Amino acid sequence: MKKVKFQQHGDLRGQLVAIEEEIDIPFKVKRVYFMYDTVSGVRRGYHAHKNLKQILFCVHGSCKVLLDDGLIKETVLLDKPYEGLYIENDIWREMFDFSEDAVLMVLASEHYNELDYIRDYDEFLKYKGL
Ligand code: T46
């Protein structure tokens, strides 16, 4: 996991951030999805991915992401539209503390595939050999 700061192209009109696949991010983007109108107090995620790599951006508002590799847990705050959180495969994630106005946008390396999800924590630890 790493937080990546993207360049802001600001001028008197405001800000613009550009993201180019295989240049700014280390994979081809096969899918984009975003979540909004997240209900207060809700926690999402609770899974890991076998192959999928993603970059998460809170393009509006804020939220927190818990990342867990099976040994170390880390919580990251996303509250800047120009900061992305790169999450490799094999990492358990939970998203929480969404602000009312939060828009969480995700760039993903693969098409949607339910078979890529590990949704049970014990199964995740087993998959990691822990
Ligand atoms: C992840 C975190 C950050 C689709 O039909 N296509 C899609 O591309 C996605 C992502 C979801 N869906 C459907 C499947 C479910 O019926 O949308 C519904 C909600 O998905 P899910 O419960 O998996 O959402 P989250 O917020 O728990 O997790 C999502 C991504 O699924 C996951 O890959 O890493 O955001």
14 alpha carbon to ligand 1 midpoint, in Å? 31
Which tens digit of pLDDT belongs to each residue from 61-79? Answer: 999 999 999 999 999 999 9
- Taking the C-alpha atoms of residue 92 and residue 73, their distance in angstroms, rounded to an integer, is 9
∠ Cα 82 15 104 (to 5°) = 40
- Taking the C-alpha atoms of residue 99 and residue 60, their distance in angstroms, rounded to an integer, is 9
Task: Check pLDDT > 80 for residue 1.
Answer: no
In 3D, which of 130, 129, 64 has the Cα closest to residue 102?
64
Q: What CATH number is attached to the domain comprising 106?
A: 2.60.120.10
Q: Residue 25 belongs to what domain range? A: 2-127
Q: Provide CB contacts within 8 A for 23, sequence distance 6+.
A: none
| Residue 29 near residue 62, CB atoms below 8 Å | no
| Mean pLDDT value across the chain | 97
- For the CA of 114, the closest atom of ligand 1 is 14
Domain count, the chain: 1
- For the CA of 54, the closest atom of ligand 1 is 34
Q: Atom 28, ligand 1: which residue's CA is nearest? A: 45
For 114, phi then psi, to 5°, come to -60, -25
Q: Atom 20, ligand 1: which residue's CA is nearest? A: 45
Task: Check pLDDT > 80 for residue 19.
Answer: yes
In eight-state DSSP terms, residue 126 is H
In 3D, which of 101, 61, 106 has the Cα closest to residue 79?
61
| Residue 125 near residue 66, CB atoms below 8 Å | no
Which tens digit of pLDDT belongs to each residue from 33-53? Answer: 999 999 999 999 999 999 999
- Taking the C-alpha atoms of residue 108 and residue 16, their distance in angstroms, rounded to an integer, is 21
12 alpha carbon to ligand 1 midpoint, in Å? 37
Which tens digit of pLDDT belongs to each residue from 74-123? Answer: 999 999 999 999 999 999 999 999 999 999 999 999 999 999 999 999 99
